[in-house]
Amino acid sequence: DVKVTQSSRYLVKRTGEKVFLECVQDMDHENMFWYRQDPGLGLRLIYFSYDVKMKEKGDIPEGYSVSREKKERFSLILESASTNQTSMYLCASSTTGYEQYFGPGTRLTVT
Amino acid sequence: QQPVQSPQAVILREGEDAVINCSSSKALYSVHWYRQKHGEAPVFLMILLKGGEQKGHEKISASFNEKKQQSSLYLTASQLSYSGTYFCGTGPINNAGNMLTFGGGTRLMVKP
């Protein structure tokens, strides 16, 4: 079974802190994604990576950056967390042309 | 721009049928459907590709109208386990690497 794991299920951070969210997949997928999920807005793509060190901006990249140094690991970085970044963050991975596999999500609260 | 899903929410009795629609303003190459149960990760249901190819579960059916840039998911003889939020994700013609734009979701509740 494909497994996508995320470093934390729940995270509470203060405004201005630097936040790292990590995602690991075990199926050698070339594509990895970070989404943000808010009620009524569905899943919005923050960043996408199609290979090691390669990335593309999604629909809402402002305030976020990403890092992919190894194929199995994709990190989302909030350089200076703000309260409007309080949300559920979902990581996913896929092979091109096939379905995306999602991690369990990290619920981030910024106070 | 996100695809538009309709209805936003639907309540069914066990055994009833439902249709969930997904409409895009862009030309599409693919449509993905996922279901998310409360507190869980979204789970893949089906992929529909331009040209008619489909990949997915046998008990789920869907259609893809390329000209209208629309897809519909058909849930027949609903079961309690069908409850959850359904998302469509659309891939444009020039898609690279499976990038999808998801709709806002349709909440489905099946009651006994």
Res B99: pLDDT: 84
Contact B98 A96 (CB under 8 A): yes
Mean pLDDT of A85-94: 97
CA distance B63 to B23: 12
What CATH number corresponds to the domain at position A75?
A: 2.60.40.10
Contact A43 B41 (CB under 8 A): no
Residues of A in contact with B5 (CB under 8 A): 42
Give tens-digit pLDDT for B26-43. Answer: 888 889 999 999 989 999
Residues of A in contact with B42 (CB under 8 A): 43, 90, 102
Mean pLDDT of B7-19: 95
Residues of B in contact with A23 (CB under 8 A): none
| The pLDDT of residue B57 is above 70 | no
Q: What rounded mean pLDDT belongs to chain A?
A: 94
Res B50: pLDDT: 78
A54: left (phi over 0), alpha (psi -120 to 50) or beta: beta
Give tens-digit pLDDT for B75-104. Answer: 988 899 999 999 999 987 655 557 889 999
| The pLDDT of residue A101 is above 70 | yes
Superfamily in which the B4-111 domain is placed by CATH = Immunoglobulins (2.60.40.10)
| Closest A-chain CA to B54 | A98
Q: How many domains does chain A have?
A: 1
Give tens-digit pLDDT for A35-73. Answer: 999 988 899 999 999 999 999 999 999 999 999 999 999
CA distance B60 to B56: 8
Res B95: pLDDT: 58
Select the residue from A54, A89, A99 to test the B interface by mutation, using most B Cβ atoms within 10 A: A99
Size of interface A-B (CB pairs under 8 A): 64
